[in-house]
Structure 1
Amino acid sequence: MRTARRTPAVLLATVLTLSACGTSDPEGAEGAEGADNGEFPVTITDARGEVSLDEEPSRIVSLSPALTEILFEVGAGDQVVAADEHSTYPDEAPDTDLSGFNPSVEEVLEHDPDLVLLARNAEDAADQLEAVDIPVIVLASGTALEDTYAQMRLLGEATGHADEADEAATRVETELTGIVEDTRERLGDDTELSVYHELDDAMNSAGSATFIGQVYERFGLRNIADEAEDSGDYPQLSSEFVVEADPDLIFLGYDTDGAVEALEERSAFDTVTAVREDNVTTLDPDIASRWGPRVVELAEDVSGAVLSAEGT
């Protein structure tokens, strides 16, 4: 029988606070009990509390693109029978019309799941699924690189792939750390580059407390969004602010046609160092917005832009 026994996590608020600050002990990092060598039952701690899984799931529905990528990375891809409409990577991910933002419980149940993964903003569906004896794991969006490694290990434990997940998480962390260390060594200690990350053409940005912001921080970049008054994590900046801040690097987190050209044509942007020196980089929007294993590719893109800006 499929069961999901859940008890509230007493320290959940504290865990959430630490995760948002990018410190250790990210949400869901407590792992699982009884998951050694794929043994079940296991108990994991998700965003809402403890979830007990009596058996290894064989029919997983993932309604989060980042979590879908993680499942395939940790060796659980063959167990995924359906994923949401935005789970476009890897190519083997099942192609469906399921919504991850507003899930239809009826449509999810058509896939006969024995485990459903939900993003935190869709957790309203969890109670309905659990009411019909479907185990549900709810995980929040990653706000620190440590969240990537922790959620990889958690999903490995929940799916019977604890050892593979630990190896994958260690590999991703090691590769990313190596890219950062090599880049900073080549740059030297005197480099002080500034960065502006643009989420869309409305000039919404991302500060250092966000996932993408922490990637930039690892490279020692100064994020101009942190200097905005009452900035919050995702401030909307003005052209005047960006021109005055004069970033050395600009990254676009969207790939619409002509995006770079449109930015360069904004009033006074021809005076911005990043524009004058051709240091405007378009990132793959999926990779830049997901906290999954492809964060290594994101780090490689950032490294390339940083070294180019310094002529290294």
Structure 2
Amino acid sequence: MRPVRVAIAGVLLAILGLAGCGRPAGNAPETPTPSGSAAGSFPVTVQAGNGQVTIAGRPERIVSLSPTATEILFAIGAGDQVVAVDEQSDYPPEAPRTSLSGFKPNVEAIISYKPDLVVTSTDANGVVDGLTKVGVPVLVEPAANRLDDTYDQIMDLGAATGNGAKAAEVAADIKRRIDELVAKAPKGTGLTYYHELDNTPYSITSNTFLGQIYAMFGLENIADKAPDAAGGYPRLSTEFIAEADPDLIFLADVKCCGESAETLAKRPGWAKLSAIKNKRVFQLDDDIASRWGPRVVEFARAVSEAVQKAAG
């Protein structure tokens, strides 16, 4: 079971303004292209969150300190190049999980795996400088703000690992599948929603990665009218949520906090919420809802199914 602090960590990254790299917001390109040189050729220079990073040769000992990066690496065919992943990288199951921390990385512990490439989502504890001093290239691939950031990071890691062609296939497939889900979804429903990050309760606005996906399905976010947007992740009062009375509620605090329609109904004033009375509370997988890698399609599918059920 994942502690609440882990669920909130990705949120804090976004609040601090750690944007994805490379491409402007909007629809992803039909045919994604690497930000580095031609796929499979080295040396390659990748434009990452920490600037331009040059990788001399195909890495064979990759250490991933980011659950999202781990998922991307295995999806693009670089899994056999990965020798260690951080303690939160629980997918795919075959990833070589260790006690390494992505939140408080220890340079000496990372070096013990003899990496020739390290991927992380933030430059915590001076990890970039520490590893660069000993000649280990580091790619910082921050929390995504838009779907384009997901495609961009997939292409970054494809170029960096010599798997550019497969990365392009993965990015194009994600885009195609999400576009198909959106095309099949009911239009003009006018449904409102509340997305719960944790039970304090923090939520998201439409100016976030997840908020963008909800908007693609025509949903209106009650948190957009919160008095303090807090960088896109406002802490809402129970009174605010009760007054907004959302049509749908999505829970991303199921694993960490055990939340459900039943637990929500016990909160003061919540038993009368339309979403609870109409059985429109949807439990999400905490991990899928907090990562911006290939499994974003599964999140989009969950939203699509909820919209179809509510509009049906």
TM range (shorter): 0.7 to 0.9
In 1, Cα distance between the equivalents of 2:33 and 2:138?
A: 17
Aligned 8 A contact 1:74 1:168 in 2: yes
Identity in percent: 47
Aligned 8 A contact 1:204 1:234 in 2: yes
Give per-residue Cα distances to partners, 1:33-90, cap 9 Å, x unaligned. 4333x01111111112111111000000000000000000111011000000000000
- What pairs with 1:108-123 in structure 2 (closer than 5 Å)? 108-122=110-124
How far off is 1:112 after superposition? 0.6
Segments of structure 2 that go 5 or more residues without pairing to the other structure are 1-17
How far off is 1:291 after superposition? 0.2
**Cα gap change, 1:89/1:95 in structure 2, threshold over 3 Å: closer, same or farther?**
same
1:303 aligns with 304
1:177 aligns with 179
1:8 aligns with none
Determine helix, strand or coil for the equivalent of 1:250. strand
Determine helix, strand or coil for the equivalent of 1:269. coil
2:4 aligns with none
- What pairs with 1:258-297 in structure 2 (closer than 5 Å)? 258-297=259-298
1:253 aligns with 252
Give per-residue Cα distances to partners, 1:144-195, cap 9 Å, x unaligned. 1111111111100100000000011000110011111111xxx233x10001
1:7 aligns with none
Aligned 8 A contact 1:32 1:158 in 2: no
**Cα gap change, 1:53/1:19 in structure 2, threshold over 3 Å: closer, same or farther?**
closer
Q: 2:138 corresponds to which letter in structure 1? A: V
1:231 aligns with 229
In 2, Cα distance between the equivalents of 1:171 and 1:106?
A: 38
The one of 136, 144, 148 aligned to 2:150: 148
In the superposition, the TM-score normalised over structure 1's length comes to: 0.88
1:137 aligns with 139
In 2, Cα distance between the equivalents of 1:31 and 1:48?
A: 17
Higher RCO (CA < 8 A, seq sep 6+): 2
Q: 1:65 corresponds to which letter in structure 2? A: P
2:220 aligns with 222
In 2, Cα distance between the equivalents of 1:35 and 1:111?
A: 28
1:202 aligns with 200
Determine helix, strand or coil for the equivalent of 1:163. helix
2:242 aligns with 243
In 1, Cα distance between the equivalents of 2:55 and 2:139?
A: 10
Aligned 8 A contact 1:61 1:80 in 2: yes
Determine helix, strand or coil for the equivalent of 1:242. helix
Determine helix, strand or coil for the equivalent of 1:208. coil
1:4 aligns with none
**Cα gap change, 1:21/1:281 in structure 2, threshold over 3 Å: closer, same or farther?**
farther
How many residues are treated as equivalent by the alignment? 291
Determine helix, strand or coil for the equivalent of 2:200. coil
Q: 2:187 corresponds to which letter in structure 1? A: G
Segments of structure 1 that go 5 or more residues without pairing to the other structure are 1-14
Aligned 8 A contact 1:53 1:135 in 2: yes
1:60 aligns with 62
Q: 1:280 corresponds to which letter in structure 2? A: V
Determine helix, strand or coil for the equivalent of 1:45. strand
2:9 aligns with none
In the superposition, the TM-score normalised over structure 2's length comes to: 0.88
The one of 103, 106, 121 aligned to 1:104: 106
Determine helix, strand or coil for the equivalent of 1:51. strand
Determine helix, strand or coil for the equivalent of 2:93. coil
Aligned 8 A contact 1:22 1:209 in 2: no
In 1, Cα distance between the equivalents of 2:113 and 2:278?
A: 52
The runs of at least 4 consecutive aligned structure 1 residues that moved more than 2 Å come to 15-26, 29-36, 256-260
Q: Give the aligned CA root-mean-square deviation in angstroms.
A: 2.3
Q: 1:235 corresponds to which letter in structure 2? A: P
In 1, Cα distance between the equivalents of 2:251 and 2:259?
A: 12
